[in-house]
Amino acid sequence: MNELDHLRTMRSEIPERSPDELALSTGWRPGRRKSRPVRRPRTLPVVLSGVAAVAAAALFLALVVFPGPGTVTVGPATDPSESEVGGSVREVMAPVIEAARSRPVDGDVWHQRLTWAQAWGVGPEDDRYGVYRVYRTEEWSWTGEYDIDTNDFEGEESGLSAQRTNETTWALVDEDHRAAWERDGSPEYWPHDSETGRVEIPTQEEDGEITGPQPGGWGFGLGTVEHPDLRSLPSDPELLEEMLFSVPETEAENSAHQDHLDNEYAVMAENGYADEGARRFSYVSGALSLPYPPEVRAGMYTVLAGLPGVRALGGVTDLSGRDAVGVAYTLSPTARGTFEERILFDSETGGLLSLEQVVVEPAESESDWSEPGDVVGYTLYEEMGWTDDPPF
Amino acid sequence: MSPAASRARVPEEAGSDASVVLRSLDDPTDFGEIFRRHAPALHRYVVRRLGRADADDVVAETFHVAFRERHRYDPAYPDARPWLWRIAANLVRGHHRAETRHYRALARTGVDPVLEGHADRVGERVDAASVSASLAGALARLSKGDRDVLLLIAWGELTYEEVASVLGIPVGTVRSRLHRARKRLRTALPTSTTTREEEDR
């Protein structure tokens, strides 16, 4: 038995009660406040007044990574049916693909340093402003010998990873709203809100400690891939697409897996990935930061450039001001609004710079604090590449 | 009290949670079906964390909030579990200090304040009690974030993605917090109690 099994034993001692018993003991009835006397004062989370009603189900998808604070401007959406747009995607991505193909692998450890953030409307109902919940993290992946039970660096070689949260913090989405923030008392912390389910900003994290090494790979489209497998991935874009978009054989017969997929699709639709084309875009954009060999990276970029519905972005900057080119994709409307996802690259090195989610049109409920062009989510890669130094 | 919450006016074949929630917009008593489907698992999880009394409060408040917010439920989401567990997870967080006291009490005395009437099984529980006490000591020392991730997975049986969704954090953070928490638990356990096992997913 491992420690999780022992934990589960602790819960096995708790019987599951029937709905009837619970209806009695909790006193819950639809539409009525419970009538049980409150036996002691309870501290419920502070509910921020005036936080707009965002559907609880519309909230989190922290899984989806998006762009950063507002240096990016959104132009009018180009019509993806124009054939010259497809041509211009190829033009814009060609140097990125070639640069990725020729970039040497000069280390054994794949290292990324990134900032991830998501924006929320906060403050009084009639005077809201947007803030980002920000994470600054670092990640390493490599293959090595490691025994997870003894914590010794010996034994079978496998893919390993390590992470460190360097900082959790907050930032204003739009400097124009600084006055509203000051009127709200210049807060530096927003407690979680039980009405909307929004978690606290910033998150209280333990800073600075490396976690790992731990085994485990990455999601790769509908399947998964481990670090040692990456070396043998095909570089042919068609073969890569096949791997990304087909259910792994081991799961194909499994009806529970299909239920899980259905739920995942519902969650993706919630976030604007409402059809197969959009889901494929999401799978590819989520798989761009893996430690691919150069030809495979070039193949993945080619897959991205060939997806229907992507539009070219040339001569833009990412939110830290680095020159960039890339692609954009307009998502379906969601409860929070309509967004465009941008993926930006360095055309000289072929490096992935950022993923950014930009407001095309905010929902009515969010229109008091966010406007077209606002970047409401982002992942900014400050560093991504090979090094010789594993973290352990 | 009225058994309306528990009486299954909506038959089991009523369809997805989403369709039940939608129907409850016209007939509020239909929301009782959501309670029937989800309250038992949720309650069991919260009891393990907070004890029976606080669990009753938290579960009642969870369904009260959910009921009040049901008009915002997105019908594209067939399963209400992430939504409900998100509300409950935030409420449990509000009881963080009380929960830590539970674990400390168990660690010190070997008596689990959350259990009721298991005196008849004292004999077989001696070994289990000492392991629980060691685990409880480690649980008491975990950060809120690490504890939430660990217990949503171990006691809530959520997937990594569901935990990420419930807590509003990236999946990578779920993994790193779980790893850290498990490592701490492992060092707290007497070495004879753990065996070489593949890491659970």
With cut-offs at 50, 70 and 90, classify the pLDDT of residue A52.
very low
Domain boundaries, chain A: 3-387
Contact B197 A1 (CB under 8 A): yes
* Residues in chain B closer than 8 A to A27 (CB atoms): 1, 56, 60
More confident residue, B197 or A51: B197
In chain A, the percentage of residues whose pLDDT exceeds 90 is 44
Give the burial class of A95: count Cβ atoms within 10 A of its Cβ; 0-12 exposed, 13-18 middle, 19 or more buried: middle
Which residue blocks in B9-159 are alpha helix, DSSP H?
Answer: 17-26, 32-50, 52-68, 81-93, 96-109, 122-141, 144-154
**Rounded mean pLDDT, A239-256:** 82
Q: Which residue of A has its CA nearest to B136?
A: A7
Q: Look at residue A121 and give its three-state secondary structure.
A: strand
**Rounded mean pLDDT, B58-70:** 91
Please write the tens of the pLDDT for every residue from B72-118: 888 888 889 989 999 999 889 888 888 888 888 888 887 777 775 54
Between A7-21, B100-114, B187-201, the lowest mean confidence (pLDDT) is in: B187-201
At residue A392, does pLDDT exceed 70? yes
**Quick one: which of B152, B170, B95 has its CA closest to A135?**
B170
Q: How far apart are CA B33 and CA B26, in angstroms?
A: 14
Q: Quote the pLDDT of residue B120.
A: 42
At residue B199, does pLDDT exceed 70? no
In chain B, the percentage of residues whose pLDDT exceeds 90 is 32
More confident residue, B109 or A81: B109
Find which of A2, A198, A200 to mutate to test the B interface (most B CBs within 10 Å of its CB).
Answer: A2
Between A82-96, A325-339, B63-77, B136-150, the lowest mean confidence (pLDDT) is in: A82-96
**Quick one: which of A119, A61, A361 has its CA closest to B77?**
A61
What number of other Cβ atoms are within 10 A of residue B49's Cβ? 27
More confident residue, B45 or A59: B45
Contact A30 B5 (CB under 8 A): yes
At residue A187, does pLDDT exceed 80? yes
Between A69-83, A110-124, A169-183, the lowest mean confidence (pLDDT) is in: A69-83
Q: How far is B100 from chain A (nearest CA, A)?
A: 15
Please provide the average confidence, as pLDDT, over all residues in chain A. 81
Q: Which residue of B has its CA nearest to A58?
A: B74
Between A167-171, B75-79, B117-121, the lowest mean confidence (pLDDT) is in: B117-121
Q: How far is A373 from chain B (nearest CA, A)?
A: 24
Q: How far is A21 from chain B (nearest CA, A)?
A: 9
At residue A350, does pLDDT exceed 90? yes
Q: Which residue of B has its CA nearest to A21?
A: B6
Q: How far apart are CA B96 and CA B148, in angstroms?
A: 10
Q: How far apart are CA B156 and CA B148, in angstroms?
A: 10
Beta bridge partners of A219: A224
**Rounded mean pLDDT, B57-84:** 90
Please provide the average confidence, as pLDDT, over all residues in chain B. 81
Please provide residue A20's backbone torsions phi and psi, each rounded to the nearest 5 degrees.
-65, -45
Give the burial class of B145: count Cβ atoms within 10 A of its Cβ; 0-12 exposed, 13-18 middle, 19 or more buried: buried
**Rounded mean pLDDT, A57-85:** 30
Q: Quote the pLDDT of residue A33.
A: 61
Which of A1, A42, A198 has the CB atom closest to B195's CB atom?
A1
At residue B50, does pLDDT exceed 80? yes
At residue A242, does pLDDT exceed 50? yes
More confident residue, A153 or A105: A105
At residue A6, does pLDDT exceed 70? yes
Please write the tens of the pLDDT for every residue from A272-307: 999 999 999 999 999 999 999 999 999 999 999 999
Which residue type does A8 have? R
Please write the tens of the pLDDT for every residue from A312-325: 998 889 999 999 99
CB B116 within 8 A of CB B47: no
Domain boundaries, chain B: 15-94
Q: Which residue of B has its CA nearest to A272?
A: B76
With cut-offs at 50, 70 and 90, classify the pLDDT of residue B152.
very high
* Residues in chain A closer than 8 A to B74 (CB atoms): 55, 57-58, 270, 335
With cut-offs at 50, 70 and 90, classify the pLDDT of residue A47.
very low
Q: Quote the pLDDT of residue A281.
A: 95
Contact B135 A30 (CB under 8 A): no
* Residues in chain A closer than 8 A to B144 (CB atoms): 204
Q: Look at residue A173 and give its three-state secondary structure.
A: coil
Q: Quote the pLDDT of residue A79.
A: 34
Please write the tens of the pLDDT for every residue from A98-130: 999 999 998 999 999 999 999 999 999 889 999
Question: pTM higher than 0.90 for the full model?
Answer: no
The CATH architecture one would assign to domain B15-94 is: Orthogonal Bundle (1.10)
At residue B40, does pLDDT exceed 90? yes
Q: Is-cis flag, bond preceding A202, omega within 30?
A: yes
| Cα–Cα distance list, A248 to A220, A257, A303 (Å) | 10, 10, 19
Which of B31, B57, B114 has the CB atom closest to A30's CB atom?
B31
In chain A, the percentage of residues whose pLDDT exceeds 70 is 85
With cut-offs at 50, 70 and 90, classify the pLDDT of residue B194.
low
